[in-house]
A and B are shown apart, each in its own frame.
Chain A
Amino acid sequence: MAPQLLIVLVFFFWPAITALRQSLYVQDAFGLGETFAGLANFTRVLASQSYHEALFNTAIFSVSVALGAMGIALLLATMADRVLRASRVYRTLLIWPYAVAPAAAGVLWMFMFDPTLGVLSRALAALGVHWDFRLNGHQAMALVIIAAIWQQMSYNFVFFLAGLQGIPASLLEAAAIDGAGPWRRFWTITFPLISPTSFFLLVMNTIYAFFDTFGTIDTTTSGGPGGATRTLVYKLYQDGIVGLDLGGSAAQSVLLMLMVGLLTLVQFRYVERRVQYH
């Protein structure tokens, strides 16, 4: 068997099947025995108030992160593309800070937004905003969104920049001669031509927001205050690892996988139609 297949089997299908199996059983209190429960885990999870809240949080969070991280990255990439087209020397200079950024980001955010010590907290206080994400749920949500955007931006930036650099200069020059101003050039030439990149990033950012932001939320807010930043993946972790509700969290993970699968399907079916491959 091909090693790649083996890896897929071990690291994806095996856990998936385990989760699927586990979601159909209930553990006893000591984790020693289990009994078949049918879809009971699913109905329990879907009926719970906290699951609905997590679902709502995830929706707000994912949309904000995907749009924010892609929008800002595209803006920065467009500016970088201008500079690079003017002079090639800057290329390496520009790429590497973006490659290093994510590692430094988490620590940086904590420094800047710390309610008592943070620079930005003080700046906000001067503006009359009382900043304390440990108490204010909206502020906490804003913080994790910003942190997640920052984390994902460099990834998006690199892809967007590569996409922009792939557009021949002569196309934009032809458009300029054809009477299109910079704004119109962007929307009628550049944007359609990088749509394959944008589409790919949309899928990747959705998956990122749903799954990969667990660490970001855990270090910044731990899902709080009062569950205000508890997204689906974070709730799954809390219920399973902390709450030891293995059946419930297995059901949640199955639901989460279904949801992301469905979302990706929808994106491929409806968004991809508007993508220009050439």
Chain B
Amino acid sequence: MARLELRRLRKRYSGSTDVLHDIDLSIDDGEMIVVVGPSGCGKSTLLRMVAGLEAISSGELVIDGECVNDQEPAERDIAMVFQNYALYPHMSVFDNLAYSLKNRGTPKAEIAQRVEATAQLLDIGALLERKPRQLSGGQRQRVAMGRAVIRKPRVFLFDEPLSNLDASLRVQMRQEIRALQQRLNITSLYVTHDQTEAMTMADRLVVMNAGRVEQVGTPMALFRKPATRFVAGFIGSPAMNFLTFSVNTLPDWLPRVPAETNEPLKGELSVGIRPEHIALTTLEDGHIEGCIELVEPLGSESLVHVRIGGHDARLVVRHGGMELPEVGQVTGLNFQGPFHLFDRHGQRLSTRLRLADTNCSMES
């Protein structure tokens, strides 16, 4: 258990531009931080810097008040679960689990006892004699977890540990990992590109984009109040819809008078509306009309994709009714708040806005 602090961490590979720009983050004792972002945004690099596998170009990495920039991976007392598990193929499950203890000169009897306990914790007791190649994907995942857990590290690192599993196993394992992490109360840094995984597992989420932190916060805070258009589009599934307007031609259904603005708005404005805040309606009642292009029934609800002529945009609507609308049909769309407004730089507008026709105030 430990407190982890990243202070203006920066990474530059020789001969390339910065891959990570001034990452600031502090992780509390026992907290599970999930770093989420698209592939190539620098998540693995960040994790590898924390593990000590990649040199830190500038900034400080502090564990429990001590700067560990110059420490070897082994000295940092960190465990990592790799995307491909990185189990030692020539060793039995027992030896895989015991390896780190052997390296530290733990007595044989204690090793046996701790392997036993860890195997029980992860329900892999029957597999101890097997080689990794004789295990299924889920079992390998458990062994990889066991190898991380066994020596009671100060910090857990996970690099997309579930991406090689099929969908149902992924759901199961993410619950198990989360339960185990909470039970052992180990400070964790978990990296994934999957926003559902991120939302469900995190105490706090870190959304990264192109080597920068876009926003840090609890999953619900990020969902309800995304700080940037990027975060708004990334968090939530199906993704938020965006419509772009010029500030001079704002539609009727959006507030005409932005109150409490510090400076006048210029140029273009992005309005974000989540799929659950749009309703299909008749042409007369709709704020806007469009043509239904695709209907994806999910059972309890359906996703209806509607092409909006004037905006050259396709909106996704969460449709709760059991009656499926027909493809090709022209329909009205009714927008209900909250709306999320972003300026032309993608920054959230912190203005208090009111819907013109209703009286409900929007998220600010």
Chain B residue numbers with a CB within 8 Å of A180 are 74, 99, 103
Q: Are the CB atoms of B73 and A168 closer together than 8 Å?
A: no
Chain A residue numbers with a CB within 8 Å of B88 are 171, 174-175, 189
Q: Which of B75-83, B118-126, B239-247, B348-356 touches A?
A: B75-83
Q: In the bound complex, how far is the Cα of B74 from the Cα of A168, in angstroms?
A: 19
CB proximity to A under 8 Å, residues B44-103: 51-53, 72-74, 78-80, 82, 84, 86, 88-90, 99-100, 103
Chain B residue numbers with a CB within 8 Å of A175 are 88, 99
The chain A residue sitting closest to B95, CB to CB, is A188
Given contacts A176-B72, A177-B79, contact A193 B89 (CB under 8 A): yes
How many A-B pairs have beta carbons closer than 8 Å: the answer is 61
Chain A residue numbers with a CB within 8 Å of B103 are 178-180, 184
The chain B residue sitting closest to A87, CB to CB, is B14
Q: Are the CB atoms of B90 and A177 closer together than 8 Å?
A: no
Min CB–CB distance B146 → chain A (angstroms): 12
Q: Are the CB atoms of B100 and A168 closer together than 8 Å?
A: no
B53, B84, B89, B147: which contacts A178 (Cβ < 8 A)?
A: B147
CB proximity to B under 8 Å, residues A140-195: 168, 170-171, 173-181, 184, 188-189, 192-193
Interface flag for A276 (CB, 8 Å) = yes
CB proximity to A under 8 Å, residues B153-175: none
The chain B residue sitting closest to A172, CB to CB, is B86
Min CB–CB distance B76 → chain A (angstroms): 8
Interface flag for A88 (CB, 8 Å) = no
Q: In the bound complex, how far is the Cα of B133 from the Cα of A170, in angstroms?
A: 16
A170, A179, A278: which contacts B86 (Cβ < 8 A)?
A: A170
Number of interface residues of A (CB under 8 A): 19
Min CB–CB distance B157 → chain A (angstroms): 9
Q: Are the CB atoms of A192 and B90 closer together than 8 Å?
A: yes
Number of interface residues of B (CB under 8 A): 23
Chain B residue numbers with a CB within 8 Å of A192 are 90
Q: In the bound complex, how far is the Cα of B96 from the Cα of A188, in angstroms?
A: 11
Chain B residue numbers with a CB within 8 Å of A188 are 99
Interface flag for B104 (CB, 8 Å) = yes
Q: In the bound complex, how far is the Cα of B76 from the Cα of A176, in angstroms?
A: 11
Q: Are the CB atoms of B51 and A177 closer together than 8 Å?
A: yes
Min CB–CB distance A186 → chain B (angstroms): 13
Q: Are the CB atoms of B90 and A179 closer together than 8 Å?
A: no
Chain B residue numbers with a CB within 8 Å of A193 are 89-90
Q: Are the CB atoms of B100 and A179 closer together than 8 Å?
A: yes
The chain A residue sitting closest to B133, CB to CB, is A278
Interface flag for B256 (CB, 8 Å) = no
Q: Are the CB atoms of B99 and A176 closer together than 8 Å?
A: no
Chain B residue numbers with a CB within 8 Å of A184 are 103
The chain B residue sitting closest to A86, CB to CB, is B14
A178, A276, A278: which contacts B74 (Cβ < 8 A)?
A: A178
Q: Are the CB atoms of A174 and B133 closer together than 8 Å?
A: no
Q: Which of A170, A179, A181, A192 has the most CB of B within 10 A?
A: A179
Min CB–CB distance A240 → chain B (angstroms): 46
B74, B78, B86: which contacts A171 (Cβ < 8 A)?
A: B86
Interface flag for B225 (CB, 8 Å) = no
Given contacts A168-B84, A170-B82, A173-B53, contact A178 B90 (CB under 8 A): no
**Interface CB pairs A-B, < 8 A, 29:** A168-B84, A170-B82, A171-B89, A173-B53, A173-B82, A174-B80, A174-B86, A174-B88, A176-B72, A176-B73, A176-B74, A177-B73, A177-B74, A177-B78, A177-B79, A177-B80, A178-B103, A178-B147, A179-B74, A179-B100, A179-B104, A180-B74, A180-B99, A181-B74, A184-B103, A188-B99, A193-B89, A276-B89, A278-B90
User: Chain B residues in contact with chain A, CB under 8 A?
Assistant: 51-53, 72-74, 78-80, 82, 84, 86, 88-90, 99-100, 103-104, 131-133, 147
Identify 13 new A-B residue pairs, CB closer than 8 A, beyond the known A170-B82, A177-B74. Answer: A171-B86, A173-B53, A174-B86, A176-B74, A177-B51, A177-B53, A177-B100, A178-B100, A178-B103, A180-B99, A192-B90, A276-B89, A278-B132
